[in-house]
Each structure stands twice: as C-alpha cells, then as structure tokens.
Amino acid sequence: MDGHDADNSKQSTADMTAFVQNLLQQMQNRFQTMSESIISKIDEMGNRIDELEQSINELRTEMGQEGSPSPAAPLKSVEEPKSGDDS
C-alpha cells in the first residue's frame, strides 16, 4: 500500500504543479492584455490632447486675425526695462 500512496502523492503533486503553471500562464496572458489595452488608451489620450492643443492654437490664431485678443491669453507687450535709478 505504501507504493500506491507514493504514486498518488506523485500524481497529486504533478497535477498541482500543472494547475499552478496553467494558472500562472493565464494570469500572465491577462496581465499582458490589460497592459496593451492601457498603453493603447494612453496613446489615444495623447493623440486627443494633441488634437485639442492644435484646435486651441487654431482658435487663438483666428482670434488674433480678427483683432480681438482673448483675455485668457493676453498678447505679449513690450515692457520697458526697469532701472534702479527711477526717482
């Protein structure tokens, strides 16, 4: 009977090892899929932000051509240098 128990123990250990390896492989595959999905969404968000910046710059250019500066984006004015001699 001892030989039979040893065979069962070895089979049980082999089954458990196979189960754990399979489980780890599934987890790795899911992690890889999620990572790729996250990276894809980050790239998409970056592209959308770039498009938004381009649209904002186009609107600023159009507003500048119409001669009505935006209060949120004041035009740069030439400032006179301040000197320490002002009295």
Question: Closest by alpha carbon to 36, among 26, 24, 44?
Answer: 44
Enter the tokens of residue 17.
Answer: 């090892």
The answer as to whether 73 is a domain residue is: no
The answer as to whether 16 is a domain residue is: no
The answer as to whether 29 is a domain residue is: no
Q: What is the pLDDT of residues 16-46, one digit of tens each?
A: 999 999 999 999 999 999 999 999 999 999 9
Torsion of CA 74, 80, 81, 82, to 10 degrees: -100
The answer as to whether 67 is a domain residue is: no
The answer as to whether 78 is a domain residue is: no
The answer as to whether 57 is a domain residue is: yes
The answer as to whether 84 is a domain residue is: no
- Identify the domain containing residue 53 by its residue range: 35-62
The answer as to whether 49 is a domain residue is: yes
Q: What is the pLDDT of residue 68?
A: 53
Number of domains the chain contains: 1
How confident is residue 80, by pLDDT bands cut at 50, 70 and 90?
low
